[in-house]
Copies of this chain bind each other. A is one copy, B any other.
């Protein structure tokens, strides 16, 4: 199945943007009367019939509406330092979106080696991963913030900060409660500083380990995503 993405759904009609329309018309050579499957990234999946292709943009009439993906039973929000090498951060986005994540915040920390991200590019990667993995929920990508500002937000759910600074942290699967929402902080290449961890603890974040391996930032992000999804299915 090929899944299209659209955030223009109204009055029983779906409109695909230029990129999606090009893929539909030029690559797949679909046309008026063909049936396509579209998600709005908000939990809905539509079966729709192409009804128009004016100015190279596809319009399609909704035939059926499905609501897959409403009941994962928990929300996962990862706030993570963008890696120096942007490919690595993009891998994290793609893989976590494929496996299942709800919200991502790029986090600037004391030891961050990069303090800019390209929001448009990151959003495109998320859309592509959602389509690839046949999901109907597009993860929310927040604007990048400093750890300091992030800690001021009073976020719902269990709060964890991944670190191996003391070597005595409990592993995340021992302390996370299944079916609870979770916010997990993942630091830059050089880890969080002792002061950052102390600030996070004050803000209600529990230091946790991700196991004996020293994982790269992006691996830690994908590991946490896999772990939380798996724990909630066991």
Contact = CB atoms under 8 A, between A and B. Distances in A.
A215 B171 contact: no
Given A173-B233, A226-B227, A230-B227, A213 B98 contact: yes
Interface stretch (A20-28, A33-41, A129-137, A142-150): A129-137
Contacts of A69: 212
B171 A219 contact: no
A135 B98 CA distance: 27
A199 B28 CA distance: 33
A4 to B, nearest CB: 15
Q: Count copies of this chain in the complex.
A: 2
A101 to B, nearest CB: 11
A214 B134 contact: yes
Kindly state the interface size class of chain A when it binds its partner: 20 to 34
A100 B213 contact: yes
A216 B91 contact: no
A44 interface: no
Given A226-B223, A226-B226, A230-B227, A215 B99 contact: yes
Contact of A214 (B132, B212, B230): B132
Interface in A35-80: 69
A127 to B, nearest CB: 15
4 nearest interchain CB pairs?
Answer: A226-B226, A133-B213, A134-B214, A98-B219
Interface of A: 69, 91, 95, 98-100, 132-135, 171, 173, 211-216, 219, 222-223, 226-227, 229-231, 233-234
23 contacts: A91-B91, A95-B222, A98-B213, A98-B215, A98-B216, A98-B219, A99-B211, A99-B213, A99-B215, A99-B219, A132-B216, A133-B213, A133-B214, A133-B215, A134-B213, A135-B213, A173-B233, A173-B234, A222-B222, A226-B227, A230-B231, A231-B234, A234-B234
